């Protein structure tokens, strides 16, 4: 999940909420058009179409794999302390490599370890 996480500044939060709301309102209106309503009623048709599409995709992938046209790479990850987190609860928890104990950082409740 972290890889997909976007960090958004508080100033942008309201604008994003407004944009999202407008977007979803647009979608809701779009769903009220006759075609969309038909689609909602015929969920089983849509389900069949989606299954057919999924099968088609899987077949295409299998074929490409068999022909050697899909190259998969090995991805390596490192698990390390998240240095952006400053935990006020238990300072020992973030004590991955601390020699002289946690340092107090002036707030009276926050510790940082490095």
Tokens standing for residue 27: 């979608």
Residue linked to tokens 């490409």: 64
* Interactions with other proteins, residue window 56-75 (CB under 8 A): 56-58, 60-62, 64-65, 70-75
Beta bridge partners of 103: 112
10 in contact with other proteins (CB under 8 A): yes
Give contact residues for other proteins (rule: CB under 8 A). 1-10, 13-14, 17, 20-21, 24, 27-28, 30-31, 36, 39-40, 43, 45-47, 49-58, 60-62, 64-65, 70-90, 93-94, 107, 109-110
């Amino acid at each position: 999940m972290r890889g997909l996480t976007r960090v958004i500044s508080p100033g942008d939060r309201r604008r994003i909420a407004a944009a999202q709301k407008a977007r979803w309102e647009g979608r809701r209106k779009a769903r009220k058009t006759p075609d969309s309503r038909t689609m909602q009623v015929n969920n089983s048709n849509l389900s069949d179409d989606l299954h057919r599409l999924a099968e088609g995709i899987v077949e295409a992938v299998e074929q490409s794999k068999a022909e050697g046209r899909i190259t998969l790479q090995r991805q390596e990850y490192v698990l390390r302390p998240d240095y952006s987190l400053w935990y006020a609860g238990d300072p020992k928890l973030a004590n991955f490599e601390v020699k002289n104990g946690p340092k107090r950082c002036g707030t009276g409740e926050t510790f940082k370890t490095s």
